[in-house]
Amino acid sequence: MKKIIYLLLIVASFGMNITYPENVDVIRINSNQCISLFFLIWVGCLFYMVKKNKINIQIKSVWIFGFILSVIYNATFIANNLSDSAYLTGLVNILLTMFALFSWTIIFSLTLSVIQKYFGFNIVNWHTPKTIYIWLILVIIWIISIAGFLPGQISWDGVRQFCEFERTKIAYLNFKYIPTNHHPWFTTIIFGTLFNVGRSLFGVNFGIFLVVLFQFIISSVIYTFVIKYVFEKTGKYGGIGAFILFASPIFSSYAITIDKSTLYYAFAAWFYLMFTKIFEKIKISQLKWDDILYYCLASSLFGLFRNDSFFIVIIATVVLIFLSISKKRNLMLIMVSIFVILGIHFGWNSYLNLKNVVKSSPSEALTLPTRQLSYIYLHDKNSLTKNELKIINRITPLSKISQNFDINNGDNLKSLYPSNTFLNSDQIISDVKKHKKTIRTTNTEKREISQYLAVWLKEGINHPFKYVYVYLGANSCYLNPFIRYSDGLFLNYFPGPETHPYMAPSWSKQYTPVFNEKIRDIYRKAMLFIVNSPLLMFISNPAFPIWSTLILFCVLFELRKKVNLMLLLPLAVMCLLFTITSINGYTRYTIGVLAVLPIVISYLWRDRYNDKFCKVK
């Protein structure tokens, strides 16, 4: 049996080096020495595991999931940049692609077998550090790493929120910003109120710093409790690993940045921490009222800091209801939580309506359908009737689709919509002023968008493979950790009036960074150097969350942990949601899931360890 596995590994080591260059005329053999070395080390580790009898090829599930991962790996390369399926035409190309599919199935399957073998291995006893010590060390590291960006920096989205809060008037466009929920108005109120308090005390810089300080304290406290939870569940190695993750620039760079995502990541971690704790306590019948209180608070804040998070909260709460019913305990407590969460959600929406806050444009949620239907128009126009072309033209003018179509970025296509709350250029603002576009979606536009979606659905039924092809291409960096992506940190310097005159709060010229641009750039390069170290670069890869979730599902499936599979459902939905966003491989969409993964892995790891421990005893 070992000889067969050795032979398969030798064959697979060749197939791993079959590539998918953008130019189909280029030879399809990998020429990158670093990648070849990485593949060689990977295969060498698998050889060692086979020698030590750590691989069980008789596990059927690992071959199923190995094949799924191989399909995702190869299909996303084929669809990347929409290369017209060149790698599925011609005998040589087809044979090479099939060989790559076969080889990666072997590699992924054997790797999954190793992961299943070691998942939940013996935990080294370790006294969990005191909470205050974890927090203090985390804070010190964050302060050192972000001091160069004081008093704080503001993202593009953050500046837009300040403009809406103060109703900034842009003189040369004769345009005045109004409140919208494009970026959650709840976060806009928090940022604007804190800034005004700080500015009234010591000026604009202190106003910015007060918002940063608020984010800094809340984020660091929440991540501290997550790190503590990981320590308790997995011992020192897991705990130290979690600490390194949250102390790294992946998270510290957001602590100094005023952006809705900064606290969203923290509240995502708190929400999932409470969800996991309640999930565990229902199983062992230890649930208390204070657990429900914290869960409701965490869920509500998580839902208020991102417009689509409410769906994740509802799915998670439904999971808890099903678990309570199956265990016949704590159902009343969980039902109370869902009524409280629903009450807060609908109450807040009523408040938005009362205050006449404009809802986000439908285009924000439809960037993927827009790209799919636009692709059909560009490549199979004959499948569309004259009436359907008229319907499409009302939403995305046909004459502008070609020049605005980009599979990796749907922002330009969504800007063609008749209603727009994005306002990412002075031209769009000018169109709003001239009534060529609206900020508030009208009833007529809603009907036209419904007709547009009907055409999209009809074309999807007629061209399902093309829709899948576009989906894979639009999410190739989210679905494949081996496709290059634009690595970096969210360290946008304050976008001042010189670069974005259409988006400049009245106080923007009064903002003065403590350190000059040269020092800030040195800090930025240092943080990029750290985050691009091999381990952190691997973890921060935008495909890491989805592949981690698939691997966890594989492990639980083989262990027949049906109940624990329910714990992964909200996580899977979080992953699904960032695959329908506008920009392919944008790490800011994935960091919330990255903050959640240590919690999920720790709980499942400890649960598996307990099973092994009981069997040994």
Q: Residue 40's domain spans which residues? A: 2-118
Residue appearing with tokens 């929406």: 349
Backbone dihedral angles phi then psi of residue 203, each to the nearest 5 degrees? 100, 180
Model confidence pLDDT, tens digit, residues 449-462: 999 999 999 999 99
Residue 233 within any structural domain of the chain? yes
Q: How far apart are CA 421 and CA 355, in angstroms?
A: 17
**End position of a domain, from candidates 449, 479, 509:** 479
Are residues 508 and 466 located together in one domain of the fold? Answer: no
Nearest CA to 101 among 30, 20, 47?
Answer: 20
Do residue 210 and residue 288 come from a single domain?
A: yes
pTM of the predicted model as reported, rounded to 2 decimal places: 0.93
Query: Which structure tokens are listed for 343?
Result: 């009450």
Instruction: For residues 159 and 191, state if they share a domain.
Output: yes
449 and 402 in one domain?
Answer: yes
What is the rounded CA–CA span in Å between residue 523 and residue 506?
29
Q: Return the bridge partners of 154, or none.
A: 258
Whether 443 and 507 map to the same domain: the answer is: no
Please give the structure tokens belonging to residue 452.
Answer: 């547009």
Which of 479, 512, 532 marks a domain boundary? 479
Summarize pLDDT for 439-449 with one digit per residue, the tens: 999 999 999 99
| Residues 471 and 526 reside in one and the same domain | no
The total number of residues written for the chain in this structure: 617
Q: Are strands 175-176 and 169-170 parallel, antiparallel or unpaired?
A: antiparallel
Backbone angles phi, psi at 87, to 5 degrees: -85, 5
Is the pLDDT at 496 greater than 70? The verdict is no
> In the chain, how many domains are there?
3
Per-residue model confidence as pLDDT tens digits over 34-86: 888 889 999 999 999 988 888 877 788 899 999 999 999 999 998 986 766 77
Is residue 274 a part of any domain in this protein? yes
Nearest to 216, CA basis, from 296, 152, 131: 152
Which contacts of 304-307 are long-range, i.e. CB under 8 A and separated by 24 or more positions?
304/184, 304/186, 304/187, 304/348, 305/184, 305/186, 305/187, 305/260, 305/263, 305/264, 305/267, 306/184, 306/260, 306/264, 306/592, 307/181, 307/184, 307/360, 307/364
> Where is pLDDT greater, at 282 or 126?
282
The answer, yes or no, to whether residue 494 has pLDDT greater than 80, is: no
Can you list the positions of beta strands (E) in 252-354?
Answer: 257-258
Same domain, 109 and 45: yes
Scanning 203-288, the segments in alpha helix (DSSP H) are 204-247, 249-255, 260-284
Identify the bridge partners of residue 487 per DSSP, sorted by sequence position: none
- Is pLDDT of 212 > 80? yes
Domain boundary among the residues 438, 460, 479 is at 479
Measured over the CA atoms of residue 388, residue 392, residue 398 and residue 402, the dihedral's sign is negative
